[in-house]
Amino acid sequence: MAPSFTTFRDDLLLALADSAGGMQRGLDPQRIAGKKGLTYTAGWVRKAVETMERHGWVKAKYSMRGGDPDVGIVVVLDGSALEEADRLIADRQAIPAADRTVTINHNEPVYEEVLYGFKQTIEAIKGKNEYGASEPEDRGQRIAELEAGQHLLKAPRVRVEPFVQLVMSALRYLAKKFADNAVGILAAALMAALVKLLGLA
């Protein structure tokens, strides 16, 4: 069974960064996906590359051959792609240590702080109209991830591994992307509160 598209996109970015070896050269993402043994649905390579282009991680050239949407793509990685790859590696390395379940005390002040932080951050993202206009899929994904985090914290216990992978990763992304405005500030504050609530410090 193929992984989620987001997981495949991240895996492909890591594979491209590894294959580039720090050199500015054209890479064939379909060939590299095959070489690395990545599982995906037809069309995902092109979709992943298009998403990476919107983020400014790669520059791509497309030439359709044989009707396969994933064939005939050549990409060159931008420096920001390597930074994103480093972030993904750091996130994934942090997950094994967090492979546990924690009990959520819904009466703790920090729990209320976290809920309020989610509410403020989601509202700030929804209010960022230029984000929705330029990257509607990305904005929708981040809102959905944060809303999922809100829902998970209503349970008496939370598995930290998937929570870190889904929610904390989204918050790190937002804190970096919007470091100079309210969204980034709120995302960073929410991360700090979640670290206290989940005992990640």
Where among 62, 89, 116 does a domain terminate?
A: 89
Percent with pLDDT over 70 in the chain? 90
Residue type, 36: K
pLDDT mean over 42-68: 87
Residue 84 · residue 55 · CB < 8 Å: yes
pTM for the model = 0.55
Report the run of H or E that residue 60 belongs to, with start and end: strand 58-62
Whether residue 122 is found in the same domain as residue 188: yes
Residue 60 · residue 13 · CB < 8 Å: no
Whether residue 185 is found in the same domain as residue 151: yes
Whether residue 29 is found in the same domain as residue 57: yes
Whether residue 83 is found in the same domain as residue 155: no
Does the pLDDT of residue 65 top 80, yes or no? no
Whether residue 25 is found in the same domain as residue 78: yes
Q: How many domains does the chain have?
A: 2
Where among 89, 119, 145 does a domain terminate?
A: 89
pLDDT of residue 113: 94
Residue 81 · residue 57 · CB < 8 Å: yes
pLDDT mean over 152-157: 92
DSSP type of residue 153: T
pLDDT of residue 48: 92
Question: Distance of CA 25 to CAs 13, 17, 29, 72, 82, Å?
Answer: 15, 11, 12, 15, 14
Whether residue 106 is found in the same domain as residue 53: no
Whether residue 40 is found in the same domain as residue 102: no
- Model confidence over 6-36: pLDDT tens digits? 888 888 998 888 887 656 678 999 999 998 8
Whether residue 191 is found in the same domain as residue 112: yes
Residue 74 · residue 60 · CB < 8 Å: yes
| CATH code of the domain covering residue 84 | 1.10.10.10
Return d(Cα 99, Cα 25) in angstroms, integer.
38
SS3 3: coil
Report the run of H or E that residue 161 belongs to, with start and end: helix 160-163
Whether residue 103 is found in the same domain as residue 155: yes
Whether residue 24 is found in the same domain as residue 47: yes
Taking alpha carbons only, the member of 88, 107, 103 closest to residue 155 is 103
Range of the domain at 131: 95-198
Where among 39, 64, 89 does a domain terminate?
A: 89
Whether residue 81 is found in the same domain as residue 134: no
Residue 62 · residue 46 · CB < 8 Å: yes
- Model confidence over 94-127: pLDDT tens digits? 555 445 788 899 998 999 999 999 999 999 999 9
Whether residue 19 is found in the same domain as residue 47: yes
